[in-house]
Amino acid sequence: MSVNGLNKITERILGDARAEAERILSEAREDCARIAADYASRADGVREKLTAQAEEKAEDMIARAKAAAAMQERNLLLQQRSDLIDGVFAGAQEWVLSLDGEKYTELLAGLLSAALMELVNTEAHNRAVYGDEEEPVQAVGETSRAAVHSGCCSPSCAGSWRERSAAHCLNREGRGYERAV
């Protein structure tokens, strides 16, 4: 064989090797692109998941902060209301203590009258709603079986819920009204 033939064979082998190398390189580039796309897709999924978790945590933190602020606002309003009520009671106490004897007696008589009217109205309402199951209210001492309870309207008092109502005892000394037993 001649040098020419050998060169042709060498060139052919080198051409085939170059073509094969180019094919392998092209396949490797395609594999790299496919792997890169796959990992980019995975990274996007992880990024979206982490973003969603961060947004959820942020929304939760905002909701908790809003709830804490609302509770603090309610507490401040309650404190202001309490202070206002305390001021009103202090003013009322001061006013009552400044009354002379006659005005003070008129005030107490009016308050007692209003309380008794409320008691009568409540009793009438209760009888209308729950029926007339018991005897009418009688003054202490009008019945021989009436007893003065030491625990005014406490669970130790016997009888129904009506007997433990304001009509049961007006005070602990027995200067009030009791139901006849």
How many independent structural domains does the chain possess? Answer: 2
Q: Do 57 and 138 fall into the same domain?
A: no
- The whole-angstrom separation of Cα 84 and Cα 78 is 10
What the block records as the tokens of 76 is 């401040």
CA 106 to centroid of chain Cα atoms: 46
Q: 162: how many CB neighbours lie within 10 A of its CB?
A: 17
Greater model confidence, 48 or 145: 48
Residue 80's domain spans which residues?
1-98
Name the domain boundary from 64, 81, 98. 98
Q: 20: how many CB neighbours lie within 10 A of its CB?
A: 10
Name the domain boundary from 46, 70, 98. 98
CA distance to 115, 117, 134, 146, per residue, from 123 (Å): 12, 10, 11, 19
Is residue 174 a contact partner of residue 162, using CB atoms and an 8 Å limit?
A: no
Q: Do 3 and 81 fall into the same domain?
A: yes
Find all residues with CB under 8 Å of 162, minimum gap 6, and list them: 123, 126, 133, 134, 168, 179
Is residue 152 a contact partner of residue 169, using CB atoms and an 8 Å limit?
A: yes
Whose CA is closest to 165, among 109, 113, 114, 120? 120
Mean pLDDT throughout 142-166? 44
Q: List, for residues 20-44, the tens digit of each pLDDT value.
A: 999 999 999 999 999 999 999 999 9
Mean pLDDT score across all residues of the chain:
80
Q: Do 55 and 29 fall into the same domain?
A: yes
Greater model confidence, 176 or 106: 106
Greater model confidence, 7 or 93: 93
Q: Do 10 and 93 fall into the same domain?
A: yes
Q: Do 90 and 119 fall into the same domain?
A: no
Is residue 166 a contact partner of residue 175, using CB atoms and an 8 Å limit?
A: no
**Which region among 4-8, 45-49, 143-147 has the lowest average model confidence (pLDDT)?**
143-147
Q: List, for residues 50-90, the tens digit of each pLDDT value.
A: 999 999 999 999 999 999 999 999 999 999 999 999 999 99
Q: List, for residues 131-143, the tens digit of each pLDDT value.
A: 876 655 555 544 4
> What pLDDT is recorded for position 8?
86
Q: Do 37 and 60 fall into the same domain?
A: yes
Q: Do 156 and 75 fall into the same domain?
A: no
